[in-house]
Structure 1
Amino acid sequence: MAYSFTVDDVAFLRSGAGEAALSACAELPLTDRTRIADVATAKRVVGEHYAAVLETVLLRRKAVTKVDGADRWLFTADALQQASASAVARHRAKRLEGREVHDVTCSIGADLVELAKMASACTGSDLDEVRLEMARHNCAQAGIEAELFQADALRPRDGNAVVVADPARRDSSGRRTWKPEDFAPPLDELAAVYRGRDLVVKCAPGLPPEVAPWADEIELVSLDGQVREACLWAGDAATVSRRASVLRSDGTQWTITDAEPDEVPVAPAGEWIVDPDGAVVRAGLVRHYGARHGLWQLDARIAYLTGDHPPPGVRAFRVLEHGPYQEKSLRAMLRRHEIGRLEILVRGLDVDPDALRRRMKLNGTSEASVVLTRIGRSPFAFLCRAEVIAPE
């Protein structure tokens, strides 16, 4: 069970003595095997705040690939889990460049730090006093100046600032919840109290659009191929109805919206099959993406695209052989190509890739990918060679 920090813990961690304690414990292994010895060392070196120090060391290690400067930040376990990755937070902040912004659920400051770099003025508030004190520390570590105060997100302040919120998505027992009415604060209440204001709300990517009819724009954001969030935009902050933003850790990114053309044909497979980024699929922009890159659909209801020239910078699948899907015919296809390592992608069929791979009894020396899908009412298999297409 995660450690529960107190305000006194945070005050200690921010002090010179706390910094020295964190430095002294930073190299402890902190594994299951060394736990007893590590705790004994921390008690001897740190004293009464040893548990807060050890938890902070662990959380910093977990955060290093998510939050810039994590080795100097303070976290709680829940706050780190929900915190925006720095690349995602920067993307959102860029859309609000030059605006006055109020982060009404600022937590430990992951979004606040990036917002403050872009906004003309930035304030942050939270009900949780511990997280608020951590945010003060984290802003200072990032060299950010932002007004911070304790407040309920459902009690709006006067003004014209864009309101940014990231409701907690765990119930009273700490379990993740997908019901918007169980968010803290509840999604509908949040939208109601800020009706008429520009509002930006970060949510989980699986949120059904119909639960937020007040949102003028829904943006799906992925980072390095993983869909990270759905962001709801209301008021002048919204510019389209649907948007997909695809980010990479190297700083490259691209966006596609429903303002672009979406007329693509349905036709037999070309030389390549393209599986669009998950943000594009969840945002319902597969046809728009296909139209942008001169691709077409194998089936109007399936998210796979195909064409003779895949988009730059993606991992695409060059078709080697294809035909109606049956396990017997697929097994024969794999043997003809001497496949011993197989990636299986599935859309539109009830197939367990791991179970199917075991049944194929692979014993060749080559590697391939198989794309299983439905065309009309018929299942099809496409044996492919995956290739990463060079960026432009």
Structure 2
Amino acid sequence: MGRAEVAYLTSDAGVAALAEVAEYPLSDRSRVADIAAIRNRFAERGTALIETTLLRRKAVIKLAGLADVSGWLFTDDALQQATAAPVARHRAVRLAGAVVHDATCSIGTELAALRSTAAWVLGSDIDEVRVAMARHNVPDVALCRADALHPVSRDAVVLLDPARRSGGRRRFDPRAYVPPLDGLLDTYRGRATVVKCAPGIDFDAVRHLGFDGEIEVTSAGGSVREACLWSPALAEPGVRRRACVLDRDEVITDADPDDCPAGPAGRWIVDPDGAIVRAGLVRHYAARHGLWQLDPDIAYLTGDHVPPGVRGFEVLDELPLREKVLRQALSQHDCGQLEILVRGVDVDPDALRRRLRVTGRTPLSLVITRIGSGAGERTSVFLCRVSAGT
């Protein structure tokens, strides 16, 4: 999609055409016929109209609560990388009262969150099409076209979100981001910056690039959404790693106590939120909630209670990893729906589930984990009943 398409989609004729195309279901069943009808009606404009309509429908779900995006413009890559609404709002709260320059603003998702909390907001992007879309999406925010590797602001917190996708494919090497992460860190060294990264980024590699601030890992909707690099000027004193579980409004940092023993399973097994695991703060989380580890090197926790709002696995039995034994135990408990969680053991959950051939009515879980190391290492399987968090 180019500038000409953006100009058309924002014109009176384009707005009317989009309203007409929005009436088509474009479902799996009707899509072929709908696309043919739209292209017959709008000729070469049909592709842009169809793409925009479909992206708006996706955006209404992903960005719910951020803004009314039903009239926004998007590209597919821009929407895929756009920050989910809860995460964008969380970051905007951390930046409340600041002057913020979003130097990779894309189509304006972060700007929509920041404009309600920041003292003043500027957006810029090197892509002229995305700047044009942002100008339509957030018309009340100052915008310009600029290369993030050539700063155009002073005395502002700089928010950076380098592209981690190309043609729908992820880039895993931070030096392959666009712009490259090492280039951004060098360009803004000494300034207050916030840099969004993929949640799986190698923290040690980031430190080797010279980053010396706080790494925050955030989850929402049960999924780890991103890692975010907060420069020392913006980091909480003494904090190098932070996990934010937005669903429960829970924050864990490496400045919290981490006195957590290891021991036999209690009544419950707890699988910590992915943000906590990814940030390396399992022991800190356990210490806060009075839990302990099954093994010092494995992220499963156990205890005699389940933290509020957390899904727990009530231990019914501890078994060896022998399929005949497991099959008998599952049959005795009338297992029908089986969930299998694995850590520290080379087991394919899907393949094992097929081989166990459960046929009952009761939903159960198997938690398979390594316990111990060296000569004392063993694999334990905990047969569990799941309880939703309270």
**TM-score range for the pair, normalised by the shorter chain length:** over 0.9
- Aligned ranges 1:192-231 → 2 under 5 Å: 192-213=186-207, 214-231=211-228
**Who is 2:386 aligned against?**
386
Alpha-carbon distance between aligned partners in 2 of 1:323 and 1:362, rounded to the nearest angstrom? 17
Verify: 1:169 aligned to 2:159, yes or no. no
Instruction: Could you list the structure 1 runs, at least 4 aligned residues long, displaced by more than 4 angstroms after superposition.
Output: none
**Who is 1:19 aligned against?**
15
Once the two structures are overlaid, the 10-residue window that deviates more, 235-244 or 269-278, is 235-244
Verify: 1:338 aligned to 2:334, yes or no. yes
Offset of residue 158 of structure 1: 4.2
Offset of residue 45 of structure 1: 3.8
Q: How many residues align?
A: 378
SS of equivalent to 2:158: strand
Which residue, 314, 336, 360 being the options, matches 2:310?
314
Q: Is the 1:197–1:235 contact (alpha carbons within 8 Å) kept by the matching residues of 2? A: no
Offset of residue 47 of structure 1: 4.4
Q: Is the 2:87–2:220 contact (alpha carbons within 8 Å) kept by the matching residues of 1? A: yes
**Who is 2:356 aligned against?**
360
SS of equivalent to 1:235: coil
**Who is 1:99 aligned against?**
98
Q: Is the 2:77–2:165 contact (alpha carbons within 8 Å) kept by the matching residues of 1? A: no
Q: Give the direction of change, closer, same or farther, for the CA distance of 1:342–1:17 in structure 2 (3 Å limit).
A: same
Alpha-carbon distance between aligned partners in 2 of 1:235 and 1:162, rounded to the nearest angstrom? 12
**Who is 1:39 aligned against?**
35
Alpha-carbon distance between aligned partners in 1 of 2:153 and 2:306, rounded to the nearest angstrom? 50
SS of equivalent to 2:79: helix
Alpha-carbon distance between aligned partners in 1 of 2:104 and 2:336, rounded to the nearest angstrom? 51
Once the two structures are overlaid, the 10-residue window that deviates more, 189-198 or 359-368, is 359-368
| Aligned-partner residue type, residue 191 of structure 1 | L
- Aligned ranges 1:1-392 → 2 under 5 Å: 5-31=1-27, 33-68=29-64, 69-140=68-139, 145-171=140-166, 175-213=169-207, 214-239=211-236, 240-248=239-247, 252-376=248-372, 377-390=377-390
Q: Is the 2:81–2:165 contact (alpha carbons within 8 Å) kept by the matching residues of 1? A: no
Alpha-carbon distance between aligned partners in 2 of 1:108 and 1:354, rounded to the nearest angstrom? 39
Once the two structures are overlaid, the 10-residue window that deviates more, 84-93 or 359-368, is 359-368
Listed one character per residue, the Cα deviations across residues 160-196 of structure 1 (whole Å, up to 9, x for unaligned) are 100101101135x663211111111000000001000
Offset of residue 18 of structure 1: 1.4
Structure 2 unaligned residues grouped into runs of 5+ = none
Listed one character per residue, the Cα deviations across residues 275-295 of structure 1 (whole Å, up to 9, x for unaligned) are 000000000000000000000
| Aligned-partner residue type, residue 180 of structure 2 | P
| Aligned-partner residue type, residue 116 of structure 2 | K
Q: Is the 1:198–1:237 contact (alpha carbons within 8 Å) kept by the matching residues of 2? A: yes
Give the superposed CA RMSD: 1.5
SS of equivalent to 1:60: helix
| Aligned-partner residue type, residue 385 of structure 2 | R
Alpha-carbon distance between aligned partners in 2 of 1:32 and 1:369, rounded to the nearest angstrom? 34
Alpha-carbon distance between aligned partners in 1 of 2:170 and 2:291, rounded to the nearest angstrom? 38
Q: Is the 1:200–1:234 contact (alpha carbons within 8 Å) kept by the matching residues of 2? A: yes
Offset of residue 113 of structure 1: 1.1
SS of equivalent to 1:102: strand
Offset of residue 32 of structure 1: 5.2
Q: TM-score, normalised by structure 2?
A: 0.94
Offset of residue 34 of structure 1: 3.4
Listed one character per residue, the Cα deviations across residues 35-58 of structure 1 (whole Å, up to 9, x for unaligned) are 443233223443442211110011
Offset of residue 11 of structure 1: 1.3
SS of equivalent to 2:138: helix
Q: Give the direction of change, closer, same or farther, for the CA distance of 1:265–1:36 in structure 2 (3 Å limit).
A: closer
SS of equivalent to 1:71: coil
SS of equivalent to 1:236: coil
Alpha-carbon distance between aligned partners in 2 of 1:335 and 1:37, rounded to the nearest angstrom? 50
| Aligned-partner residue type, residue 177 of structure 2 | F
Q: Give the direction of change, closer, same or farther, for the CA distance of 1:274–1:191 in structure 2 (3 Å limit).
A: same
Once the two structures are overlaid, the 10-residue window that deviates more, 153-162 or 89-98, is 153-162
SS of equivalent to 2:233: helix
Offset of residue 363 of structure 1: 2.0
Q: Is the 1:21–1:45 contact (alpha carbons within 8 Å) kept by the matching residues of 2? A: no
Structure 1 unaligned residues grouped into runs of 5+ = none
